[in-house]
Structure 1
Amino acid sequence: MDKARQKYLQQWLRTQQKPIKKLLGLNILLAGISSLILVAQTYLLATLLHELIIVGTAREELLPHFIGLIVGFALRAFILWAREKIGFKCGQNLRQIIRRQIFDKIHQVGPAVINRKPAGAWATIMLEQVENLHNFYARYLPQQALSVIVPVVILIAVFPINWAAGLILMLTAPLVPIFMILVGIAAADSSQKNMATLARLSGQFLDRLRGLETLRLFNRAQEQTEHIEDSTEEFRETTMDVLKIAFLSSAVLEFFTSVSIALMAVYFGFSYLGEINFGAYSTPITLFAGFFCLTLAPEFYQPLRDLGTYYHDRAAGIGAADVIVEFLEQPSFNTQQAQARLPDNQSAVEIRAENLVILSPQGQALTRPLNFYLPSNAHIALVGQSGAGKTSLINVLLGFLSYQGSLTINGIELNTLDRIQWRKNIAWVGQNPLLLQGSIRENLLLGDIQASEQEITQALAQAQATEFTDKLGLDSEIKEGGIGLSVGQAQRLAVARALLRKGRLLLLDEPTASLDAQSENLVLQALRQISRRQTTLMITHRIEDLKQCDLILVMRQGEIVQQGHFEQLQHQGFFAELLAQRKQDIN
């Protein structure tokens, strides 16, 4: 990673701290108060030793000093506890904010971008990468301020007592941050490489886990096991590289601070022997002065040492931010300021496309110019082989892809519509319905659907789902992914949800692809009922069941090659070829 990129990412990380600026300020203020208490404690302790050993003062007279020490320890312990709580709260708040930004961006870009990476890679961004930002805000940023405040406070306390000791501290202090900067350059690159390797490993492992049965069926389990072993070994090596830099830098930082403290100890040792006679403003160097300065010397370097420890949190934060920022700054079709709205007094939508060219997120053409008209309340089928452009057409209708040419909804250009309002008019049923862990009722109302008990009962009846929902009950719990229901039951719940959504456009993507014959007939029957009240566009490979469709669009290699009714198309062109191939596959 070049320096310009690192600098940009660090600026981005700092701009994210605005919501927690007050908490960060409170954290730093408490640490500053703690440093003042530390100086006062050291002063009391040095005075006690001087009075007891050199002056011979009675212990009873020094009782206030002892009480002051105890109070100081208690206050510093309380401040340390409060700072830990505040630091955790800072990191927690920022993680929630950044995860919300990622969720919002995922909502904007849609499946066209999401499907370009495996699910494991997105899980890594949402979990590990965001978690790696925690210590940057909870520890590194406060410590960066403390590495300046605490040394300055100690220098202000030491210089009036002994300028030579203060000069030793001031001249040796820059050695620590200089070395941290040198190490940080290598640490950021290692951390970024480690995160990228982890993302690849997560994606590969999750994909292999999901396809385990298929891999075993084709006798590829051993091959994929070896591939995962290689990826795991690569991750181990990158992790060890990060740890190697961390341990090496810590050792060197300890070396520099130890030498600096030893240098001050040598100065006071020779001063007490009478070999050195400077630094004390022409006054004798007392036990108080030596003990005070030597006790504060480790505390002077401690914030810098802690910053060196947390400097790796900075490197990890920059490595994680690189991946997060790359995703958040992707251009999105949905970021356009589109404010037009569909009138609420229409029951269905009509869609017209003229010279429509669908574009990928990178701006490349995914289709040739498309021209079609979808009447309101019509049932339209979209057929074609895989890769023909059917999913791209669905994604552009959902507002997830940009386009050239014209695509109007009830005469209004799609790219001028308010995207959120437009999607509220769409109901969707796909091959694999989304069911989350929760009750059947909660899954039916997913997506902020407002429906009464009577409407839910009616929707379940129309979706042919009452045969199992009456037995289970609407409050029956189902597991993540619909575990506990059959594929057909889950699909009928998805149909019922589409009914409750009361959309004006119904999009169907292979809704019966994974169903048995009985479940397929039930789902198709339910879909025919709900498609009468809205415009329906269905992607399907089961082209033998399209006789009841009002219009069929046939796509091939990114263009619409045929349009018409089943009777018009079944004996000619590419549709006849698809129909013949389908019959051959069935037989």
Structure 2
Amino acid sequence: MTPDPSPDAPRPSPAEALAAFEAPARAALARAGALGIVAALLWPVQAYAVAASVHLWAVGTWNPVPGLWLVALFVTAGAARALLEARAGGIAHRAAEALMAAERERLIAAEAARVDRGTNSAAFAALLTQKLPLMVPYLVRYRPAFLRATVVPLTLVALTLPVSWAVALVLLVAIPLIPLFQALVGIAARDASAKQMDEIADLNGLLSERLSALPDLHLLDAGGRALSGFAVRAEALRRRTMAVLRVAFLSSTVLEFFSALGVALVAVYVGFNMLDWIGFGDWGQALTLAQGIFVLMLAPEVFQPLREVSAAWHDKATAEAVARDLAEVHADPGPRALGAGARAAPLPGPATLRVSGASVLRGAEKVPLPDMALSPGQAVALTGSSGTGKSSALLAIAGLVPVAAGRIEVAGRVLDDATADAWRARLAWVPQRVHVPDATLAEALDPRGTGADPAEALAAARAGAVVAGLPEGLATRLGENGAGVSGGEARRLMLARALLARPDVVLADEPTADLDAATAAAVRAALRRLAEGGALVIVATHDPVLVREMDRIVPMPGAARAA
């Protein structure tokens, strides 16, 4: 596995990022390019067959036997070209899809392991679903075309040299002009594509924010202003897209001009030479009809690989912009959850917790954690003003962020990548902002699928009436934001889930915040019930009533500094 780069490491250039991205598929793409080169070099065989056939017919020496052989040669070479091109395309597509799948899995795994990064989910979704697929045309079209462009034109020029050094000279002069101007246009293409990618990410982020704020926008009657702002950003994206298209059209125009000029000069030379109006460049003897047709058929094919590169030039500029975004994502690993995030057997031993000299990183800030040694059955309140690190402490205890210093021991073992998944199998988490999985309420209450009856747990959490009021009861799907229930009701449902799971450790983040008195009392009673049942209960709270009901109060070290 590629290690996460250091945040302080220098950022790679777009070209370097793209080269690193395509490295796993480079061998397969090279095979596809080699097959494409062989296919392109079969064209001179077909050109020879056509030139020889026309020559025999024109001078009146056509004979069925050699004529049929020439036809067979043309058809065979054409069939071989088609087969080779199909094979090359298949290899390139399979390599590209494999690379996309691997990168998609890497992105999702990395994002799933990150905690509290403040990542814009819409921007990440745009990168995963909209930007990443834009790498496929680069891999499938540009890379093979670029390999052909490095070999085929000069090889075809070499084949024209024995016929006419003048034709070879014209082609040699025309060929370098195309890459030169393409490079100049390519700088503008890369910059325009990068700006377009940024605009796509910004627009997706704006859309996500507006969708999540729809209820507030409706209450504030701000829908019109929101639409106006969205229209402005959409217009900005349209302008960025048109800028990219203008550069793409300019790139094609440059290529077509020079390729048409080169082919036209060859045609003029061949015609005048065959009429004896030009007597140089033919090695002392005027071109025959067969030789003239042969070089005329080769001349356009000299520029064809360059034409294909030009057509895919925008794909390269877009791929560099996407590779830049991918490199930035991978260069900013953020806090990573311990473990693999997989299901594991519960960590054996008593559910004890010991924190010694530990601290975690919150951005560039180091947040100290309180030293403590806790045992099963205790109810503990972490106290301190906002920003002192109470939520960070819960995340560290759950193994969702690594400690930057010191150590955390759980069940007598160091909490690390080897023990985190097994430790979390013994935990129940009650967040301040409830996230409901895409499942029925029955499945959400029993995520391990034990089949236990949730009635007692719902009653203990005073959530039975909540379920009874839902349209389909336990079969209701609430959605990730808990639509259909209030914040307090959702929190009681999560407490019922904890009661049903009979966890050894319960971590609750501000479990009574913003709740009415009756609901807060129900939540406090459910937490006490868990502690009385033998669970180690740790809450991060500002609620003085809840603090008084806990067995132990642990102030955050940052609370003293804040005071």
Identify whether the pair has TM-score above 0.5, normalized to the shorter chain: yes
What's the counterpart of residue 565 of structure 1? none
Alpha-carbon RMSD across the aligned residues, in angstroms, is 3.9
Q: What SS class does the counterpart of residue 451 from structure 2 fall into?
A: helix
2:348 corresponds to: 345
Q: Which amino acid aligns with 1:33?
A: V
SS in 1 for 2:508: strand
- Per-residue CA deviation, residues 396-455 of structure 1 (Å, 9 max, x unaligned), is 334454555534224666568655555445432324444444566765676xx5x5xxx3
**Aligned equivalent of 2:97:** 92
Q: Per the alignment, in what secondary structure is the counterpart of residue 62 of structure 1?
A: helix
Task: Tell me which moved more, 138-147 or 412-421.
Answer: 412-421
- Matching residue within 305, 316, 319 for 1:317: 319
What letter corresponds to residue 391 of structure 1 in structure 2? S
In the alignment, the residues of structure 2 paired with residue 103 and residue 348 of structure 1 have an alpha-carbon distance, to the nearest angstrom, of 31
Rate the CA distance shift 1:7–1:35 in 2: closer, same or farther, 3 A.
Answer: farther
TM-score (norm 2): 0.82
User: 1:313 is paired with a residue of what secondary structure?
Assistant: helix
1:252-282 CA-to-partner distances (Å, cap 9, x unmatched) read 1111111111121122122112132333333
Give yes or no for contact 2:335–2:401 (8 Å, CA) kept in 1: yes
**Alpha-carbon distance between aligned partners in 1 of 2:446 and 2:273, rounded to the nearest angstrom:** 81
Relative to structure 2, which stretch is displaced further, 168-177 or 393-402? 393-402
Deviation at 1:9, TM superposition (A): 3.7
CA distance in 1, matches of 2:479, 2:376: 36
Cα 1:507/1:160, change in 2 over 3 Å: farther
Letter of the structure 2 residue corresponding to residue 457 of structure 1: A
Residue identity in the other structure for 1:194: Q
**Which residue does the alignment assign to 1:360?**
362
Q: Does 1:76 align with 2:81?
A: yes
Q: Aligned in 2, Cα 1:47/1:376: closer, same or farther, shift over 3 Å?
A: same
Corresponding residue for 2:142? 140
Q: CA deviation at 1:58?
A: 4.4
Cα deviation for residue 334 of structure 1 reads 4.4
1:429 aligned partner: 430
Confirm whether residue 10 of structure 1 aligns to residue 9 of structure 2: no
Correspondence for 1:544: 545
User: Which piece of structure 1 moves more, 500-509 or 285-294?
Assistant: 500-509
Alignment partner of 1:291 is 2:296: no
Q: By how many angstroms is 1:485 displaced?
A: 6.4
Identity of counterpart residues, as a percentage?
Answer: 28
8 A Cα contact 1:108 1:332, kept in partner: no
Q: Structure 1 CA distance, aligned partners of 2:267 and 2:10?
A: 43
Aligned AA for 2:535?
A: Q
Structure 2 vs 1, CA of residues 297 and 489 (structure 1 numbering), >3 Å: closer, same or farther? farther
Q: 2 CA distance for matches of 1:6 and 1:267?
A: 52
The equivalent residue for 1:270 is: 272
Displacement after TM superposition at 1:325 (Å): 0.9
Contact 2:338 2:400 in 1 (8 A): no
Judged with a 3 Å threshold, the aligned counterparts in structure 2 of structure 1 residues 529 and 150 are, in CA distance, closer, same or farther, namely: farther
Residue pairs, 1:372-411, within 5 angstroms: 372-383=372-383, 386-401=386-401, 403=403, 405-410=405-410
1:229 to 228, 231, 254: 231
Residue of 44, 47, 54 corresponding to 1:42: 47
Give yes or no for the alignment of 1:32 onto 2:31.
no
Note the C-alpha offset of 1:159: 2.7
Alignment check: 8 A CA contact 2:359 2:403 kept = yes
Query: Aligned AA for 1:350?
Result: L
Distance 1:52 1:196 in 2: 61
Tell me the SS of whatever aligns to 2:362: coil
Quote how far apart the aligned CAs of 1:203 are. Answer: 0.8
Q: 1:71 to 1:246 in 2, by over 3 A?
A: same
* 1:167-206: CA deviation from partner (whole Å, max 9, x where unpaired): 3223321111122222222222221122112211211111
| Partner residue in 2 for 1:245 | 247
Distance (Å, rounded) in 2 between the aligned partners of 1:337 and 1:491:
27
What residue number does 2:3 align with?
Answer: none
Whether the 8 Å CA contact 1:430–1:510 is kept in 2: the answer is yes
Structure 1 residues 316-350: Cα deviation after superposition (integer angstroms, max 9, x where no partner): 11111112111212255549999xx9994313131
Cα distance in 1, alignment partners of residues 104 and 262 from structure 2: 44
- Take 1:52 and 1:493, find their aligned partners in 2: how far apart are those partners? 90
Equivalent position of 1:57 in the other structure: 62
| Post-superposition offset of 1:31 | 0.9
What is the alpha-carbon distance in structure 2 between the residues aligned to residue 554 and residue 219 of structure 1?
Answer: 43
Contact 2:495–2:523 (CA under 8 A) maintained in structure 1: yes
SS of the residue aligned with 2:539? strand
Instruction: Report the residue type matching 1:536 in the other structure.
Output: V
Letter in 2 for 1:132: L
Alignment-mate amino acid for residue 45 of structure 2: A
**Within 2, Cα distance between the matches of 1:336 and 1:529?**
30
- Aligned-pair CA distance for 1:493: 6.4
- 1:585 corresponds to: none
**Contact 2:370–2:556 (8 Å) recurs in 1:** no
SS in 1 for 2:43: helix
Paired letter, 2:127: I
Q: 1:166 matched to which residue of 2? A: 168
Distance 1:6 1:550, change over 3 A: closer
Structure 2 match to 1:577: none
- Between 1:161-170 and 1:480-489, the stretch displaced more is 480-489
> Unpaired runs of 5+ in structure 1?
563-573, 575-587
The verdict on how the C-alpha distance between 1:253 and 1:335 changes in structure 2, with shifts beyond 3 A counting, is farther
What is the CA–CA distance in structure 2 between the aligned matches of 1:512 and 1:69, rounded to whole Å? 82
Classify 1:279/1:211 alpha carbon distance in 2 versus 1 (closer, same or farther; 3 Å).
same
Please state whether the residue corresponding to 2:59 is helix, strand or coil. Answer: helix
- Corresponding position: 1:481 with 2:500: no
Distance 1:528 1:65 in 2: 93
- 2: distance between equivalents of 1:439 and 1:336? 29
Q: How does 1:522-533 map to 2 (within 5 A)?
A: 527-531=527-531, 532-533=533-534
Which stretch has the larger CA shift, 388-397 or 124-133? 388-397
2:4 is aligned to: none
Secondary structure (helix, strand or coil) at the match of 1:278 reads: coil
Tell me whether 1:457 sits opposite 2:452 in the alignment: yes
| One-letter identity of the residue aligned with 1:142 | P
Deviation at 1:510, TM superposition (A): 4.0
Secondary structure of 2:350's counterpart equals: coil
Query: Is contact 2:369–2:393 with CA below 8 Å preserved after alignment?
Result: no
Q: C-alpha distance in 2, partners of 1:314/1:508?
A: 49
Relative to structure 1, is the Cα distance of residues 479 and 171 closer, same or farther in structure 2, using a 3 angstrom cutoff?
farther
**How many angstroms apart in 2 are the aligned matches of 1:517 and 1:187?**
61
* Aligned-residue offset at 1:499: 6.3
The amino acid of 1:120's aligned partner reads A
- Deviation track 1:32-77 (CA, whole Å, cap 9, x = no partner) reads 2311332222221112211112344145752333344344444434
Write the deviation string for residues 536-573 of structure 1: whole angstroms up to 9, x where unpaired: 222345543455422234569x42689xxxxxxxxxxx
User: Do the aligned partners of residues 388 and 360 (structure 1) sit closer, same or farther apart at CA in structure 2, a change above 3 Å counting?
Assistant: closer
Amino acid at match of 2:177: L
TM-score by structure 1 length? 0.79
Cα distance in 1 for residues equivalent to 2:436 and 2:187? 45
Q: Are the aligned partners of 1:190 and 1:242 in contact in 2 as well (CA < 8 Å)? A: yes
In the alignment, the residues of structure 2 paired with residue 494 and residue 192 of structure 1 have an alpha-carbon distance, to the nearest angstrom, of 44
Native 8 Å contact 2:338 2:399 kept in 1: no
Cα distance in 2 between the residues matched to 1:437 and 1:522? 26
Instruction: Kindly provide the amino acid, as one letter, of the partner of residue 552 in structure 2.
Output: L
Question: Counterpart in 1 of 2:6?
Answer: none
Counterpart code for 1:346 = G
The more displaced of 426-435 and 304-313 is: 426-435
